[in-house]
């Protein structure tokens, strides 16, 4: 396994402590691409050779995380792909309310080609499960499914958090089990348990703060954005055990809050 995606972001639990565990860049990239629905597809222009041509592109995903596109032969990006199959897909955090430069994004690079007939039915079902409205044009004669074979991937998790992910590592990675529940967990904690987050930062991360907001959560822990006066900083707090569902997250957070109260 490549160590390119095994870096850590954010401080440890205390000064001198090892960084708290986090999902690999490959896992985070798979999760981000899973949550996204639309990316920016760049193909090589036929009209202006060598220049990238950008398109807004809904995409489907197969079990290996490879993006698929339902595109028309009349579209410029399709004509570009037929002339040169090299392309990239930029996927950004679907939560547009966040700082775009501080939010996660991934650039997938690869080659796009028409999906073989023997694989078409399964891929079509996966795509239409994500885009029900595509049923209105999926059978038009000028439309066809294309899939990107990923050659390499670059992941950015925010300021100072970035690295390359090998294609096979990305394919083996799994989507974080909290991916679809994360927004609800974050919203609930910030709206109803703001004081508890300040307590967790102080007792479990050794970070003093007047305000704390949860900004991300995964199976291994969560990130807090902390404010002390004019200073804004962050902390990563690991869960006391791995969680696999929203209910497990709730149970573990309650235990951690009780532990934090015992420490202060």
pLDDT tens figures, 230-249: 999 989 999 999 999 999 99
Indicate the number of domains in the chain.
2
Could you say which of 172, 205, 221 is where a domain stops? 172
Q: Where are the beta strands (DSSP E) in 32-99?
A: 38-44, 52-58, 60-61, 67-72, 86-92
Q: Are residues 148 and 187 in the same domain?
A: no
Pairing of the two strands 52-58 and 211-218: unpaired
- Are the C-beta atoms of residues 178 and 249 closer than 8 Å to each other? yes
Instruction: Indicate whether 205 belongs to any domain.
Output: yes
Whether 153 is covered by a domain: the verdict is: yes
- Domain ranges, residue 153: 25-172
> Are residue 66 and residue 162 in the same domain, yes or no?
yes
Whole-angstrom distance, CA of residue 225 vs CA of residue 235:
7
Residue 31 CA to residue 83 CA, distance in Å, equals 32
Question: In angstroms, how far is CA 67 from the centroid of its own chain?
Answer: 14
Cβ atoms of residues 220 and 23 within 8 Å: yes
pTM (2 decimals)?
0.88
How many Cβ atoms sit within 10 Å of the Cβ of residue 263? 9
- Domain harbouring 249, CATH code: 3.20.180.10
- Is there a single domain that holds both residue 68 and residue 147? yes
CA distances from 146 to 87, 155, 175 (A): 12, 23, 23
SS3 content of the chain, % helix, strand, coil (to 5): 30, 30, 35
Q: Using only the alpha carbons of the chain, give its radius of gyration.
A: 21
For residue 70, the domain's CATH number is 2.30.110.10
Question: 156: which residues sit within 8 A by CB, 6+ positions away?
Answer: 104, 105, 106, 162
What confidence score (pLDDT) does residue 6 get? 43
Domain check: are 63 and 151 in the same one? yes
Q: 71 has which bridge partners?
A: 144
Residue 147: inside a domain, yes or no?
Answer: yes
Q: What are the pLDDT digits (tens) for 191-213?
A: 999 999 999 999 999 999 999 99
Roughly what angle, to the nearest 10 degrees, separates helices 182-192 and 246-263? 40
Is residue 58 situated within a structural domain? yes
125 and 249 fall within a common domain: no
**In this structure, is residue 188 part of a structural domain?**
yes
Query: What is the dihedral sign for C-alpha 29, 30, 35, 36?
Result: positive
Say what the pLDDT of residue 13 is.
Answer: 44
Q: What is the pLDDT along the chain (264 residues), one digit of tens a residue?
A: 444 444 433 333 444 567 889 999 999 999 999 999 999 999 999 999 999 999 999 999 999 999 999 999 999 999 999 999 999 999 998 875 567 777 899 999 999 999 999 999 999 999 999 999 999 999 999 999 999 999 999 999 877 789 999 999 999 999 999 999 999 999 999 999 999 999 999 999 999 999 999 999 999 999 999 999 999 998 999 999 999 999 999 999 999 999 999 988
Report the pLDDT value the prediction gives residue 17, as an integer from 0 to 100: 66
Q: Say if residue 162 is in the same domain as residue 208.
A: no
Residue 16 lies in a domain: no
């Amino acid at each position: 396994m490549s160590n390119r995606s095994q870096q850590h972001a954010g401080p440890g639990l205390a000064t001198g402590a090892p960084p708290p565990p986090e999902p690999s860049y490959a896992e985070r990239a798979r999760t981000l691409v899973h949550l996204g629905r639309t990316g920016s597809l760049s193909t090589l222009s036929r009209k202006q050779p060598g220049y990238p041509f950008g398109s807004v592109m809904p995409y489907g995903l197969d079990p290996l995380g490879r993006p698929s596109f339902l595109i028309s032969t009349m579209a410029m990006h399709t004509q570009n792909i037929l002339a040169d199959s090299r392309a990239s897909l930029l996927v950004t955090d679907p939560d547009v309310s966040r700082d775009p430069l501080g939010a996660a994004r991934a650039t997938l690079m690869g080659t796009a080609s028409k999906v073989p007939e023997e694989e078409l039915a399964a891929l079509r079902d996966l795509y239409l499960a994500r885009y029900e409205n595509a049923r209105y044009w999926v059978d038009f004669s000028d439309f066809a499914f294309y899939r990107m074979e990923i050659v390499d991937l670059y992941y950015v998790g925010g300021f100072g958090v970035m690295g390359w992910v090998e294609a096979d590592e990305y394919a083996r990675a799994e989507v974080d089990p909290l991916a679809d529940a994360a927004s609800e967990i974050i919203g609930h904690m910030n709206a109803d348990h703001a004081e508890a987050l300040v307590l967790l930062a102080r007792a479990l991360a050794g970070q003093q703060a007047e305000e704390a907001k949860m900004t991300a959560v995964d199976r291994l822990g969560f990130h807090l954005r902390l404010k002390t006066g004019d200073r804004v900083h962050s902390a990563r707090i690991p869960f006391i055990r791995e969680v696999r569902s929203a209910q497990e997250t709730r149970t573990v957070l309650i235990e951690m809050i009780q532990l934090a109260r015992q420490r202060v």
